[in-house]
Amino acid sequence: MYFYGTFPEDFLWGVSSSAYQIEGGWDADGKGPSIWDNFTHIPGNIKNNDTGDVACDSYNKVDEDLYLLRALKVNSYRFSLSWPRIFPNGRNSSINSYGVDYYNRLIDGLLTRNITPMVTLHHWDLPQALQDIGGWANPTMVDLFDSFADFCFQTFGDRVKFWMTFNEAVYISWLGYDTGEFPPNIKDNPGIAVYNVTHIILKAHARVYHTYDQKYREHQKGVISLTINVDWVEPKNPSDPRDIEAADRFLQFMGGWFTHPVFKNGDYPDAMKWKVGNRSELQKLPSSRLPVFTEEEKDYIRGTADVFCLNYYTAKIIQHKTTRLKPYSYENDQEQVSEFDSSWPPSALETVRAVPWGLRRLLNWIKEEYGNPPIYITENGVGIKSKSDVDDTSRIYYLKTHINEALKASRLDGVNLRGYTIWSLMDNFEWLRGYEPRFGLHHVDFENPNRPRTPKRSAIYYSEIIRQNGVPLPEEEDH
């Protein structure tokens, strides 16, 4: 059933992007290389050998981007800071004032237009110099990330009041250090490195939260969190307890891995501790491959998020399956198989299922699991493989149905939903898939050196939703 109504007052309506995917200017004005710059420069790594060298050229198009945002009438814009643009060698001994200026112009421009900046500190583009010392596998990263974050709070925090430490960290650990599909392409220690990396990432997140809390919160009065991505899952056979358990396990492995420690008790979900612990025992290892937090670390990590930030795209069906003990891997540890997750990122509509009701269920799961936290949907959207289509009816359908399920969660289920953000403001570099899947509300012509942007029909549709703060009952039915 379609549900008519509006969202709470002061609801944040936004669009999202990330530095590497839109900025270009990969070596402009002293920017240092990131692991994604180097990875995309090797032929064969990315679809059509695309790179983010120029991308949407947003580094040179602050005014154009602000114009699009203003025209959409969003009241928030989620973007990320390029760490190597600000600290070319990753450390604060190398501050690049041109990079700082770029973000200052963007942030000031947003505020002039009454648009709230929502800023991600790390959206995957790690400075290569830090990868050279082991990247997220090196515990020193806790200090290094903290020093970058501290600089950002000090420099931009007078105007930025919404911070996210990591975007979708599950992909940093899993694709970066287990399957090796993403840079840094490490696959020689699967089932082990993946857990150690997340262990460090969680400590880094907590450290940055405490820095904000201790040094900045009182004056800057912002909020800080991390963004997780979870697919909704349904058990294949709802009357088989093993499938129900496998479905819950999936949610815990994909999202709870990060949010259980942060929003609950400073520790990993039981489902993960049991599964990885048990398998490690069967594998005759001296201890679990899932590392253990000390009591002190648990205290330090618990409660380190002010709001819940969620990226949602799709759902799948999960069935329990006992998997081989070897080779070790994060995926094997989950002991389940899923249907409908053929390929991500999607190259065509058919490969990712639009499951709007999965969003409502997931929001309710978060509400129950974590005690009704304020939730922001920080990404939702669809990638379509089509070069020139501004007539994107299928995207309108996707957005309309997802926004409606979000509305039901807010109005009917009592989910404390505070914002909704579309991925993405415009077509951009979609990681391994290059420029093939188009996620934008604006079309970008990547053949044209000026990278002209054109609103799609979905942009017009979205601005109408924003204007009405939802989907109020059509007037003629009102009387």
Closest residue to ligand NOJ in the complex (CB): 345
The single residue of 23, 335, 369, 379 carrying the catalytic annotation is 379
By CB under 6 A, tell whether 423 contacts ligand NOJ: yes
Residue from 23, 37, 248, 430 in contact with ligand NOJ (CB under 6 A): 430
Cβ nearer to ligand NOJ, comparing 288 with 314: 314
Cβ nearer to ligand NOJ, comparing 77 with 300: 77
Cβ nearer to ligand NOJ, comparing 75 with 314: 314
Cβ nearer to ligand NOJ, comparing 58 with 167: 167
379 is catalytic: yes
Cβ nearer to ligand NOJ, comparing 235 with 383: 383
Considering only residues 362 to 401 of the shown chain, the ones binding ligand NOJ according to CB under 6 A are 379
Cβ nearer to ligand NOJ, comparing 21 with 304: 21
Query: Whose structure tokens read 């070319």?
Result: 88
**Considering the complex, what minimum distance in angstroms separates the CB of residue 277 from ligand NOJ?**
30
Binding mask 317-356 for ligand NOJ (x = CB under 6 A): ----------------------------x-----------
**Considering the complex, what minimum distance in angstroms separates the CB of residue 168 from ligand NOJ?**
5
Considering only residues 123 to 182 of the shown chain, the ones binding ligand NOJ according to CB under 6 A are 167-168
Exposure on the CB side of residue 405, measured as CA atoms within 13 A? 20
**Considering the complex, what minimum distance in angstroms separates the CB of residue 105 from ligand NOJ?**
23
How far apart, in whole angstroms, are the C-alpha atoms of residue 277 and residue 226? 26
Residue from 128, 311, 334, 338 in contact with ligand NOJ (CB under 6 A): 311
Considering only residues 248 to 307 of the shown chain, the ones binding ligand NOJ according to CB under 6 A are none
Considering only residues 198 to 257 of the shown chain, the ones binding ligand NOJ according to CB under 6 A are none
Binding mask 18-47 for ligand NOJ (x = CB under 6 A): x--x--------------------------
The residues that are catalytic are 379
Residues lying near ligand NOJ in the complex (CB under 6 A) are found at: 18, 21, 167-168, 311, 345, 379, 423, 430, 439
